[in-house]
Amino acid sequence: MIIQLEKNLTAEQKAVLKDKLKDIKYTINEVKTQNGHYLIGIGKQEFDIRSIGTLPGIRDIHRVSDAFKLVSKKWKVEDTSIDLGDGIKIGSGQFTVMAGPCSIETEEQIDKTINHLLQNGVRIMRGGVYKPRSSPYSFRGLGIEGLKLWHQKARTAGIKIITEVMMTEQIDAMADYVDIFQVGARNSQNFNLLDALGKVDKPVLLKRGISGTLEELLQAAEYIFSNGNEKIMLCERGVRSYENAYRNMMDINGIALLKDKTHLPVIADPSHGIGLRRYVDKVALASIMAGADGIIMEVHEKPEKAFSDGQQTLSFPEAKRLYSRMNQSYRLRESFEMDLVQGLF
Amino acid sequence: MIIQLEKNLTAEQKAVLKDKLKDIKYTINEVKTQNGHYLIGIGKQEFDIRSIGTLPGIRDIHRVSDAFKLVSKKWKVEDTSIDLGDGIKIGSGQFTVMAGPCSIETEEQIDKTINHLLQNGVRIMRGGVYKPRSSPYSFRGLGIEGLKLWHQKARTAGIKIITEVMMTEQIDAMADYVDIFQVGARNSQNFNLLDALGKVDKPVLLKRGISGTLEELLQAAEYIFSNGNEKIMLCERGVRSYENAYRNMMDINGIALLKDKTHLPVIADPSHGIGLRRYVDKVALASIMAGADGIIMEVHEKPEKAFSDGQQTLSFPEAKRLYSRMNQSYRLRESFEMDLVQGLF
Amino acid sequence: MIIQLEKNLTAEQKAVLKDKLKDIKYTINEVKTQNGHYLIGIGKQEFDIRSIGTLPGIRDIHRVSDAFKLVSKKWKVEDTSIDLGDGIKIGSGQFTVMAGPCSIETEEQIDKTINHLLQNGVRIMRGGVYKPRSSPYSFRGLGIEGLKLWHQKARTAGIKIITEVMMTEQIDAMADYVDIFQVGARNSQNFNLLDALGKVDKPVLLKRGISGTLEELLQAAEYIFSNGNEKIMLCERGVRSYENAYRNMMDINGIALLKDKTHLPVIADPSHGIGLRRYVDKVALASIMAGADGIIMEVHEKPEKAFSDGQQTLSFPEAKRLYSRMNQSYRLRESFEMDLVQGLF
Amino acid sequence: MIIQLEKNLTAEQKAVLKDKLKDIKYTINEVKTQNGHYLIGIGKQEFDIRSIGTLPGIRDIHRVSDAFKLVSKKWKVEDTSIDLGDGIKIGSGQFTVMAGPCSIETEEQIDKTINHLLQNGVRIMRGGVYKPRSSPYSFRGLGIEGLKLWHQKARTAGIKIITEVMMTEQIDAMADYVDIFQVGARNSQNFNLLDALGKVDKPVLLKRGISGTLEELLQAAEYIFSNGNEKIMLCERGVRSYENAYRNMMDINGIALLKDKTHLPVIADPSHGIGLRRYVDKVALASIMAGADGIIMEVHEKPEKAFSDGQQTLSFPEAKRLYSRMNQSYRLRESFEMDLVQGLF
């Protein structure tokens, strides 16, 4: 159960409420976020929702039987919109593109990518400075110095930065240079990292685990939310499967389901979702028709020379063509939704 | 290697050719289909393609290193078009819808479904009369009598029939009443059935196995083709995965890849691909953007009363809305392809 | 629900029983097997088991809530023993080895294999004469002539034959030359084949599907049983997974579970279960400790020259060493079970 | 390539060596561990191993083409033995049992568990004080205070402690109270945590990821080793699969393969490997026959009252019976290996 509390709730009122929940043997989690103040009650006993809901100090009360609570659409039906400033918003009717290289490599690469984004109206740049790599002997990123250089150039150009954070110790140092913290697939259930990101006032893009379930992804988001940060995006990036014809199996079903279960924006990553440049466009367009609020994709001036992930990275001309197609596809999807709103169906 | 033979090839010319292949230690498979006459050579030795390709009696020769040969796009670059008669064609620029119930149940159900299809311009009706069921105690279909009844009504309405065949013994009895034979996921590697369908002059829709690889699907199609029947469609219907939030995991990547690897039409089955009515439309539209040539979907006047698969079956109004959206999505995709043809990109 | 009927049940008594079941809205499946006569009732309504169980003509009645009925241990608690004649029994305290090549290749190969088996006290020889192959251009077996030759030699040596049947049309022709019909992983849900094997009075070894669930395997066995044939063995042979370090992932858990859920013998196939010769012995021994009643394994005089599956086939000396280890492991497992019987634990 | 350096190698000798590697375009990673000093060269160019191997300052040189290097058996053929002190060793011919509850819960629970272990000669106790939980609202462990209490009692009893560490910040505080650090499945690719554990002089048990490949597990171990800590155990604990009849699918094949690829000890976790108490014994015994050096398992005085994982936890009497069976199984396996050593086969 989720109880939304009034802002001016008194300590006494809260105590009464907590007693009431203890009476029906519910454990209580008190959550304060940027936007609200909640009591999350976990229990199994049946109860009369009115007997609690009419107590003073309560704004609203909802039964939520899902394994996740605050990220569920069952209590918050309107979609969440995340504001990055400078007129850039994600979710709730906005279509977002985030593009850039797998790894931040050189100053020249940053310049060329920013230039490409500016020419195409893309406002958010992706890129890794801390790279999770299977082997300790692989390139692991330029680190904080690379981030600072990138930030300086991006700010000047009016471009926002999304980049991966791998450990709690990095958060503070990175926070000034990052617009969206990305949690990678391998850290999707790194609960301490999620806890810590819940205490930051920055948006977080949370990738699905390598074979994570949708429920696990939503519960991982619940970690961030219940620690105080409501600005969360979920990212479908394909899952591991028995099929070896491509890198990951993009879970288009997952996008459709997530959009139905949660109010959080859902971003699709077609680059990792199939892992082969030749098909990234089709997977991106399919993701949009399945309901994605945005696309995060890998682009590089010379994909074949990229330090990592070159085989799934688009060249600038390929990306340009895709931006246009994505916009058209999104507009078509919007028109379907409009029909619904206008009662045409 | 694939050698396309001249129609008027002499026995002598063929003998010379076969000797040539034996010389380089290739095993030879002679294939005659509705449209062509081929020698398929399997071997590893390097050879000078001109030394064979210039022999008399040869129309063309191609190296095909894939595990599948005749279904590969490497030798036949134009897409296959399958003609069902009455102006109904599948593949190669046509968008096809096949709709109908999971199981053929009653005369009334047939009538209502045909009526629904006619009203919406759908020309092909799906439905099972032989049902593969996990339990021997479940409803297993109306059998041949159901098929005859259905056929009589469909022919009158100008509607084509696609239905599943489960064993070789059924083929002859069914052939007069069927326009497309469907091979189900559980029979995707029933090689004797594939052999037998290769000897029939009827189109075949071949479903991917429950956890079949794309290569296995293409090799299964090769069974049909190499037995003489070129009229094959492939069907992506989702695969088994660890995720329990839905029935199967629709493999959108698979659609994109198949369209690139084979000249055969690719049909998507969003009903089985996710298994939940609520999301069938999104999965259908995503499949189209990924490159599908058509959609096969379950519709029923009263899905909640269907003998089987009700939870993934659309009602008539839901289906009507989806037909329209699918057409719009297909036209958008076509416009992207047009841009390519016209060199706009 | 399973109702075991008396042998001398009268038609009247049966009619009364059926009416009773119709009253509680159960569908009725009447099953006659080599050993028994049953009514299988499928329904959801609660009922008083005594009100039916005390009717005349009933030997016993059981509630079985599983998706499978006659193969469940819930009504038949003693393990099934399958008698092949000549003192060879499978299941219920017997440890069985079936060994031989993937494919029957030549007369010499048959002779050498039989000789090897005789020297090591192995009484059942495996080998394929009809081979399911992914590609139509691969070797597909010697067919019925190969089987006849093999049978002649095996009978002389007192060796029993297990071989795969791929289609119903083959059953009659094969029946005289086969001691156990094997159903391969790709045919694990070929329901027509299962139906037909249910009408034969020969033991059947049923392999788990390539990604088959344990419940599907048990339901597939139910097809055979409910058509009249109780002589069924189940075979765990590994399942498809994301891991590419070996061919299949042996499901040791599946062996433990099956032994708990069904009274049928469970045979393990370590050759396919891992697909790499180097580890077949460990997988075989592990399977025994998990509860397997027997092992089916690939051996060949010269594995590196085998027509198929050479990479997972043991040489004769490797096999000899494994036979001895398997016997010791089985005896150890038996001693654990003895402790239980004697109440030592 | 792995170059083992002499202890008294001079700076000059090292410089010569590094230049030599740069000449053939190998990247160089210098690794110092508790036991050795290595240069790891990563590159693709062919080279004459003698031209490097004969340089002064080199103890040994090995080509290792695997994706993992220092943990490979290709350069270190003898099995690693890990010494916990007090006569307790793991690996290389020792059979190890680690048993205890999922979570450390109460002082009484600690006492009873220690008592049970002492009575059965088990020297290592498992238990979680930091619990990774899918939901933020679940019990997350007693934390450092629980660990201190447990440590005090375990030390008195002569029992060693293995417990999970979830983040780098916990390492220092825990180090004095822990004998083996466990890395959980969800942190199997938490590379920063692996880096940090490589700098600690404590043994680490590294669990395979939820759908981790064996190669990823070995590369994760390489992170620890290449940061300086050679005392690593790998743990097979089952992987995620499509099968819902149990929690995870125990990968017996993985145990057999790991023992062949690495010199590190391999521990099996049958509790998580199947997740159902009823079958834990069979999975444990199977794991031993597949080659495991030890078993980590969940026991609890009252499994049905455990805070977590009760459904897969053995009671004390069940555990006692299994200890005995495991010892017998291990002795049998040893006798097989002895036969090999003595040339009986």
pTM for this entry: 0.96
Task: Give the integer Cα–Cα distance in Å for D257 and B293.
Answer: 44
Contact B145, B127 (CB under 8 A): no
Number of helices (H), then strands (E), in chain C: 11, 14
Other Cβ atoms closer than 10 A to B87: 8
Nearest C-alpha neighbor of C228 from the set C10, C38, C42, C75? C38
Q: Could you tell me the pLDDT band of residue A341, with boundaries at 50, 70 and 90?
A: low
Instruction: Give me the pLDDT at residue C76, please.
Output: 93
Q: Could you tell me the pLDDT band of residue C45, with boundaries at 50, 70 and 90?
A: confident
Contact D260 C279 (CB under 8 A): yes
Looking at the fold, whether D177 and D147 belong to one and the same domain comes out as yes
The distance of D258 to chain C (nearest Cα, Å) reads: 10
C58 domain-assigned: yes
**Beta pairing partners, D62:** D2
Instruction: Give me the pLDDT at residue C311, please.
Output: 95
Residues in chain D with CB shorter than 8 Å from the CB of B244 are 244
- With a CB cutoff of 8 Å and minimum separation 6, the contacts of B237 are B185, B207, B208, B248, B268, B269, B272, B273
Across residues D114-120, what is the average pLDDT? Answer: 98
Q: Could you tell me the pLDDT band of residue C166, with boundaries at 50, 70 and 90?
A: very high
The distance of D284 to chain C (nearest Cα, Å) reads: 9
Looking at the fold, whether C16 and C150 belong to one and the same domain comes out as no
In which region does residue A342 sit, left (phi positive, over 0), alpha (psi from -120 to 50) or beta (all else)?
alpha
**Contacting partners of chain C (3+ CB pairs under 8 A):** A, B, D
Q: What angle do CA B219, B220, B225 make, to 5 degrees?
A: 90
Best of D73, D239, D246, D253 to mutate (most C CBs within 10 Å, chain C) = D253
Q: Which residues of A touch C (CB under 8 A)?
A: 211, 240-242, 244
Q: Could you tell me the pLDDT band of residue C341, with boundaries at 50, 70 and 90?
A: low
Instruction: Give me the pLDDT at residue C302, please.
Output: 96
Task: Give the integer Cα–Cα distance in Å for D73 and A233.
Answer: 44
Instruction: Give me the pLDDT at residue C218, please.
Output: 98
Contact C211 B29 (CB under 8 A): no
Q: Which among B42, B168, B190 is the nearest to C137, CB-wise?
A: B42
Nearest C-alpha neighbor of A26 from the set A43, A13, A44? A43
Residues in chain A with CB shorter than 8 Å from the CB of B262 are none
Instruction: Give me the pLDDT at residue B87, please.
Output: 96
Domains in chain D, number: 2
Instruction: Give me the pLDDT at residue D338, please.
Output: 83
Looking at the fold, whether B52 and B88 belong to one and the same domain comes out as no
Count how many Cα atoms sit within 13 Å of the Cα of residue A299 in the half-sphere of its side chain: 30
Chain centre to alpha carbon of residue D213: 15
Chain B residue at shortest CA distance from D210? B242
A76 domain-assigned: no
C335 domain-assigned: yes
Chain centre to alpha carbon of residue A101: 18
Encoded amino acid at A191, one letter? F
The tens-digit pLDDT sequence of chain B (345 residues) is 999 999 999 999 999 999 999 999 999 999 999 999 999 999 888 888 888 999 999 999 999 988 999 999 999 999 999 999 999 999 999 999 999 999 999 999 999 999 999 999 999 999 999 999 999 999 899 999 999 999 999 999 999 999 999 999 999 999 999 999 999 999 999 999 999 999 999 999 999 999 999 999 999 999 999 999 999 999 999 999 999 999 999 999 999 999 999 999 999 999 999 999 999 999 999 999 999 999 999 999 999 999 999 999 999 999 999 999 999 999 999 999 887 666 655
Chain D residue at shortest CA distance from B248? D242
Q: Could you tell me the pLDDT band of residue A339, with boundaries at 50, 70 and 90?
A: confident
CATH number of the domain at C47, please: 3.30.70
Residues in chain B with CB shorter than 8 Å from the CB of C65 are none
Residues in chain D with CB shorter than 8 Å from the CB of C68 are none
Instruction: Give me the pLDDT at residue C339, please.
Output: 73
Q: How is residue A320 written in tokens?
A: 């340009």
Instruction: Give me the pLDDT at residue C340, please.
Output: 64
> Exposed, middle or buried: residue D131 (CB in 10 Å: 0-12, 13-18, 19+)?
buried
Task: Give the integer Cα–Cα distance in Å for B274 and B277.
Answer: 8
Contact B211 D242 (CB under 8 A): yes
| pLDDT at D322 exceeding the cut of 60 | yes
| pLDDT at C255 exceeding the cut of 90 | yes
Residues in chain A with CB shorter than 8 Å from the CB of D40 are 137
The distance of C218 to chain B (nearest Cα, Å) reads: 9
Backbone angles phi and psi of D247, in degrees to 5 = -75, -55
Task: Give the integer Cα–Cα distance in Å for B110 and C99.
Answer: 53
Encoded amino acid at A308, one letter? S
Looking at the fold, whether B213 and B295 belong to one and the same domain comes out as yes
Give SS3 for A307.
Answer: coil
Per DSSP, C300 falls in state -
Best of C239, C240, C242 to mutate (most A CBs within 10 Å, chain A) = C242
C72 domain-assigned: no
Q: How is residue D79 written in tokens?
A: 């099995």
Task: Give the integer Cα–Cα distance in Å for D58 and D4.
Answer: 6
Residues in chain C with CB shorter than 8 Å from the CB of D332 are 328-329, 332
Across residues D80-94, what is the average pLDDT? Answer: 97
| pLDDT at D344 exceeding the cut of 90 | no
* pLDDT tens track for D173-217: 999 999 999 999 999 999 999 999 999 999 999 999 999 999 999
Looking at the fold, whether D122 and D242 belong to one and the same domain comes out as yes
Nearest C-alpha neighbor of A223 from the set A2, A35, A3, A68? A68
**Beta pairing partners, C30:** C39
Best of A69, A137, A197 to mutate (most D CBs within 10 Å, chain D) = A137
Helix ranges (H only) for chain A are 11-23, 49-53, 107-119, 143-157, 168-175, 191-197, 214-226, 252-261, 270-274, 277-289, 316-341
Looking at the fold, whether C88 and C10 belong to one and the same domain comes out as no
Looking at the fold, whether D54 and D86 belong to one and the same domain comes out as no
Structural domain that includes position D267: 82-341
Q: What angle do CA C58, C61, C62 make, to 5 degrees?
A: 170
**Contacting partners of chain B (3+ CB pairs under 8 A):** A, C, D
Q: Which residues of A touch D (CB under 8 A)?
A: 27, 29, 40, 42, 67-69, 132-137, 166-169, 186-187, 189-193, 195, 209-211, 215-216, 219, 222-223, 226-227, 240
Q: Which among A245, A287, A328 is the nearest to B257, CB-wise?
A: A245
Task: Give the integer Cα–Cα distance in Å for B193 and A209.
Answer: 40
Q: Which position has the token pair 């089952």?
A: D238
Looking at the fold, whether C151 and C239 belong to one and the same domain comes out as yes
Best of A257, A282, A323 to mutate (most B CBs within 10 Å, chain B) = A282
Encoded amino acid at A91, one letter? G
Q: Which among D245, D252, D278 is the nearest to C283, CB-wise?
A: D252
Q: Which among D187, D192, D219 is the nearest to A135, CB-wise?
A: D219
B111 domain-assigned: yes
For CA atoms C63, C64, C65, C70, the dihedral sign is: negative
- In 3-state terms chain C splits into helix, strand, coil percentages (rounded to 5) of 40, 20, 40
Share of chain A above pLDDT 90, in %: 92
Looking at the fold, whether C92 and C53 belong to one and the same domain comes out as no
Task: Give the integer Cα–Cα distance in Å for C221 and B134.
Answer: 10
Encoded amino acid at A71, one letter? V
Task: Give the integer Cα–Cα distance in Å for A34 and D316.
Answer: 49
More confident residue, D207 or C308: D207
Chain centre to alpha carbon of residue B297: 14
Across residues A139-157, what is the average pLDDT? Answer: 97
Per DSSP, D303 falls in state G
The distance of A103 to chain D (nearest Cα, Å) reads: 17
Contact B6, B58 (CB under 8 A): yes
Instruction: Give me the pLDDT at residue D252, please.
Output: 98
Contact D289 C286 (CB under 8 A): yes
In which region does residue C93 sit, left (phi positive, over 0), alpha (psi from -120 to 50) or beta (all else)?
left
| pLDDT at A197 exceeding the cut of 70 | yes
Q: Which among B243, B325, B329 is the nearest to A213, CB-wise?
A: B243
Residues in chain B with CB shorter than 8 Å from the CB of C137 are 27, 29, 40, 42, 69, 226
Contact B33, B65 (CB under 8 A): no
Strand order in the sheet with B58-62: B27-32, B37-42, B2-5, B58-62
Task: Give the integer Cα–Cα distance in Å for C99 and C135.
Answer: 26
B306 domain-assigned: yes
Looking at the fold, whether A160 and A100 belong to one and the same domain comes out as yes
* pLDDT tens track for A221-244: 999 999 999 999 999 999 999 999
More confident residue, A152 or B49: A152
Q: Which long-range contacts (CB under 8 A, 24 or more apart) does B23-29 make?
A: B26/B1, B27/C137, B29/B226, B29/C136, B29/C137
Q: Using alpha carbons only, how large is chain A's radius of gyration in Å?
A: 21
Encoded amino acid at C32, one letter? K
Q: How is residue D344 written in tokens?
A: 């009986």
Intra-chain end-to-end CA distance of chain B, in Å: 34
The H or E element containing residue D52 is helix D49-53
CATH number of the domain at A169, please: 3.20.20.70
Residues in chain C with CB shorter than 8 Å from the CB of A244 are 244
Q: How is residue A29 written in tokens?
A: 């989690």
Per DSSP, C304 falls in state G
Rounded to 10°, the helix D277-289/C252-261 angle is 140
Chains A, B: CB pairs < 8 Å: 124
Instruction: Give me the pLDDT at residue B342, please.
Output: 66
Nearest C-alpha neighbor of C244 from the set C288, C276, C266? C276
Instruction: Give me the pLDDT at residue D45, please.
Output: 86
* pLDDT tens track for D122-169: 999 999 999 999 999 998 999 999 999 999 999 999 999 999 999 999
D100 domain-assigned: yes
Instruction: Give me the pLDDT at residue B339, please.
Output: 73
Q: Which residues of C touch A (CB under 8 A)?
A: 211, 240-242, 244
Instruction: Give me the pLDDT at residue D115, please.
Output: 98
Rounded to 10°, the helix B316-341/A316-341 angle is 150
Of A62, A93, A108, the one marking the end of a domain is: A62
* pLDDT tens track for C14-23: 999 999 999 9
- With a CB cutoff of 8 Å and minimum separation 6, the contacts of D317 are C345
ipTM: 0.95
Q: How is residue A119 written in tokens?
A: 């020419």
Give SS3 for C40.
Answer: strand
Best of D44, D66, D168, D210 to mutate (most A CBs within 10 Å, chain A) = D210
Instruction: Give me the pLDDT at residue B343, please.
Output: 61
Q: Which position has the token pair 């088994």?
A: B240
Q: How is residue B200 written in tokens?
A: 């029939």
- Encode chain B in three state secondary structure: CEEEECCCCCHHHHHHHHHHHHHCCCEEEEEECCCCEEEEEECCCCCCHHHHHCCCCEEEEECCCCCCCCCECCCCCCCCCEEEECCEEECCCCCEEEEECCECCCHHHHHHHHHHHHHCCCCEEECECCCCCCCCCCCCCCHHHHHHHHHHHHHHHCCEEEEECCCHHHHHHHHCCCCEEEECHHHCCCHHHHHHHCCCCCCEEEECCCCCCHHHHHHHHHHHHHCCCCCEEEEECCECCCCCCCCCECEHHHHHHHHHHECCCEEECHHHHHCCHHHHHHHHHHHHHCCCCEEEEEECCCHHHCCCCHHHCECHHHHHHHHHHHHHHHHHHHHHHHHHHCCCC
Looking at the fold, whether B87 and B18 belong to one and the same domain comes out as no
| pLDDT at C168 exceeding the cut of 60 | yes
Instruction: Give me the pLDDT at residue D340, please.
Output: 64
Residues in chain D with CB shorter than 8 Å from the CB of B242 are 211, 240-242
Contact D137 A226 (CB under 8 A): yes
Contact A132 D191 (CB under 8 A): yes
Contact D120, D323 (CB under 8 A): yes
Looking at the fold, whether C41 and C144 belong to one and the same domain comes out as no
The distance of D240 to chain B (nearest Cα, Å) reads: 7
Q: Distance of CA B252 to CAs A66, B257, B287, Å?
A: 28, 9, 6
Q: Which residues of D touch C (CB under 8 A)?
A: 211, 213-215, 238-239, 241-246, 249-257, 260, 273-274, 278-279, 282-283, 285-291, 317, 321, 325, 328-329, 332-333, 335-336, 345
Q: How is residue A277 written in tokens?
A: 């440049």
Comparing A306-310, A330-334, B109-113, D288-292, the range with the smallest average pLDDT is A306-310
Instruction: Give me the pLDDT at residue C337, please.
Output: 87
pLDDT, averaged across chain A: 95
Instruction: Give me the pLDDT at residue A46, please.
Output: 86
B151 domain-assigned: yes
Contact C254 D243 (CB under 8 A): yes
Q: Could you tell me the pLDDT band of residue D341, with boundaries at 50, 70 and 90?
A: low
**Beta pairing partners, D40:** D2, D29
Q: How is residue D161 written in tokens?
A: 């402690």
pLDDT, averaged across chain D: 95
Instruction: Give me the pLDDT at residue D116, please.
Output: 98
